Amino acid sequence: MLLLADKVVFLTGGTEGIGFECAKAYQQAGARLCIISNDSESIHRAKTQLESNATVFFLADVANAAQVQKAIAHCLAVFGKIDVIHNNAGISSPSKALHETTEQEWKKLFEVNVGGIHHTTLHGIEALKKSGGSILNTGSLVGEIGQEIHAAYTATKGAVNALTKSMALDYAPFGIRVNAVAPAGVITPLLRSWSQQQPDPDLAEEYLNNIHALGYCPEGDVIADACLFLISDMARFITGCILPVSGGAELGYKKLSSKQNHFHDL
């Protein structure tokens, strides 16, 4: 039996990276999908691989409450219900220390990474109450342990962790589960952008492999498999969980080498 048979999943940021891998996994598991992205080009690319009568795309920015409201309404109009909201959309730039982060950069990170969860919940919670559905947030291991020269981003992911636990308590009386998945490094366009912002980009690949106890930086499919489990009925008694899918990185997250140390001349 397909794990997501007859389930409707509202997935933000589902056209590239981890989100795209999740979209493929959910579709293969029998879900009907409403995929949200703010990038029309990535929507076009994703359509070529995910085209199906059971999958629709909607151009929207999760930082914009009105656009999210329209996307939720569109999903309900097409499929009649929502069983899962997966808040995957996020940004990671800039890779900077806090004192180097501009007010505009700070606000943008929080508007997308945290505000997006607020907006989908604000406009989608009533549908989830009817379906007894679940919410999944894409977090990050750095929200728990921090990361050098990435302060604002890690702050947003720490907020995602706290939100996930509080939401799990608030919505448990309605039978709604709320969990988060917390990767370490995953090979995605966001990670490649982060790598290019490091003091020595040429060493970034080696660093990313070495931080994982299992010895390599994975592709997004390993995260998608964990996400599929968390939104399926196999995880029906799991809520408020921040699940690390990190290759053991939290067991001893390694520092950047001295050549990469951004603060050596301060």
Q: Give catalytic residues, as residue numbers.
A: 153
Query: Hey, how many other C-beta atoms are within 10 angstroms of the C-beta on 255?
Result: 10
The number of beta carbons lying within 10 Å of the beta carbon of residue 260 is 18
Buried b (16+ CB within 10 A) or exposed e, 114-125: bbbbbbbbebbb
DSSP string, 192-225: HHHHHTSS-GGGHHHHHHHTSTTSSPPPTHHHHH
Q: Where are the beta strands (DSSP E) in the chain?
A: 8-12, 32-37, 55-59, 84-87, 134-138, 177-183, 242-245
Q: Of 168, 165, 138, nearest to 153 (Cα)?
A: 138
What is d(CA 17, CA 224) in angstroms, rounded to the nearest whole number?
A: 10
Closest to 64 (Cα-Cα) out of 11, 126, 119, 10: 119
3-state secondary structure of 85: strand
**What letter does residue 80 receive in the DSSP assignment?**
S
Give Cα separations from 185 to 65, 82, 245 (angstroms): 30, 30, 9
